[in-house]
Amino acid sequence: MNLLWVVLAFIVTLGPLVILHEWGHFFAARRLGVKVLAYSIGFGPVLFRRSDKQGCEYRLSAIPLGGYVKMLDSRETEITEEQKAVAFDHQSQWKKVLIVAAGPLVNFVIAVVLFFMLAVPAKDVLSTRVGAVSPDTPAATVLKPGDLITEADGQPVKQWGEFNQVLAGYIGESVELPLQINRDGQLLSTELPLKQFMANDTQISPLEAAGLITYEPLIIPTIEQVEEGGAAAKAGLKPGDTILSINAKPTPSWFDVVRLIRANSEQDVQIEVARGSEQLVFAVALSSQKDAMGKRSGYLGVGVAQAPIEIPKDYQTTINLSLPEAFMAGVQQTWSLSILTLDGIKKMVLGLIGLESLSGPITIANMAGESLEMGLGVMVGFIAYMSVALGVLNLLPIPGLDGGHILLHTTEALIGTKMPEKIWMVVTIVGFSALLVLMGTAIFNDIVRLFA
């Protein structure tokens, strides 16, 4: 991906979320009779401005990492006695809470709508029937190819996305995850042993970490293209070669090749191929490539012929929801991801997950670029997830975030008076310090991933 594409993807996916988040504050303020002075997309120097008849200035600012709504407030500017009725700081506490909470609420509504849109069309998807299990993984101890996972932790699961989400809830933990499986027509109960699950590697999917491989069609690994100047070309591999093994491990399918190559980033490997009637062995110095999270994987520089793939019926399931069911699926997905996000934050605080899993704007931009390349459905799902994350993070009770203001106004409502300035100042300094540390850690992680 080039830089222009990444920037474009970042703007297309996250820009509307920021605009609508701030619109939530703007809409609530106006509906509740508070005067809005400015509605800005971005921070810093103003690039464009225009005012409406009610005196609100609409701004487009230079730094596109957020935005703000500026309301009339006597703590920031002198106001007349008549203006107190429309000044934010002279409103009741419940009005203040509603105005502040409206931004994150809009993000949750957006997520529900987008997940609803994704759930409406009927579609055939991969069922939770196990295609294969990776050796020396949790799945290898209790599951076999062909097993159909029907329940996980007491929840029915029909597709891999649902099971992946259940596993994600146990990142950093050591548990015996209850499973119900259908093995050759017989229902069995078992437990998947997860020990400090993904505590040190949150850059792979939970399914991969558990050792589960979904259905994979048999694609004979006969090379069709060899990338000029790539590792394969330098070693002497040619179109028409069929890869038989890598480091003496048989590779009957293209997927076996992919797994072994990815696992040996920038390593020397022995690749055995069939070329006509000969069997040849090549010493190949693999190169590497980096994903959006900065994880490097081995790269060979070859491609195979694209052949039509037919998935057996017993590895598929049909998802066909009514409109009410699709709406409830959108609500459930938004709720589940909100809980997962909060759970992830809690586990970072407790040290169950390393801070290296935090992502900043650079990683998010790269992920946005990848989602855009993968098609409309993936992009919509990514936007929905980011909307949930934006809503949840803004509700954290940290000064400077919406949640910090909600905490302040709720506390003042409960004690019946304004929070003493000195106490709030201390809370604000501590909160902002924590926020700066988190932001600094996320950006540091971005830089490490970028140059790793």
| Torsion over CA: 44, 46, 49, 53 (sign) | positive
Which member of 22, 216, 266, 325 is catalytic? Answer: 22
Query: What are φ and ψ of residue 302, in 5° steps?
Result: -135, 160
Handedness of CA 42, 48, 51, 52 (dihedral sign): negative
Other beta carbons within 10 angstroms of residue 222's beta carbon come to: 16
Per-residue exposure over 431-450, b if at least 16 CB sit within 10 Å of its own CB, e if not: beeebeebeeebbebbeebe
**84 in Cβ contact with 74 (< 8 Å):** yes
DSSP H or E stretch at residue 40: strand 36-51
Structure tokens at 162: 């649902």
Question: Whole-angstrom Cα distance, residue 202 to residue 233?
Answer: 33
Q: Distance between CA 223 and CA 212 in Å, rounded?
A: 27
Pairwise CA distance, residues 57 & 48, whole Å: 10
Task: Tell me the DSSP string of 247-291.
Answer: TTEE--SHHHHHHHHHTTTT-EEEEEEEETTEEEEEEEE-EEEE-
Q: Distance between CA atoms of 284 and 266, rounded to whole angstroms?
A: 10
Active site residue 373: no
Element (H, E) at 429: helix 421-451
Q: Say which residues have a Cβ less than 8 Å from residue 24's Cβ, sequence separation at least 6.
A: 102, 103, 104, 105, 106, 107
With beta carbons less than 8 A apart as the criterion, state whether 84 and 56 touch: no
Tokens 């501590």 locate to: 430
Half-sphere exposure of 133 (CA within 13 A, CB side): 19
Per the rule left: phi > 0, alpha: psi between -120 and 50, beta: everything else, 250 is: beta
**CB 438 within 8 Å of CB 348:** no
Residues with active-site annotation = 22
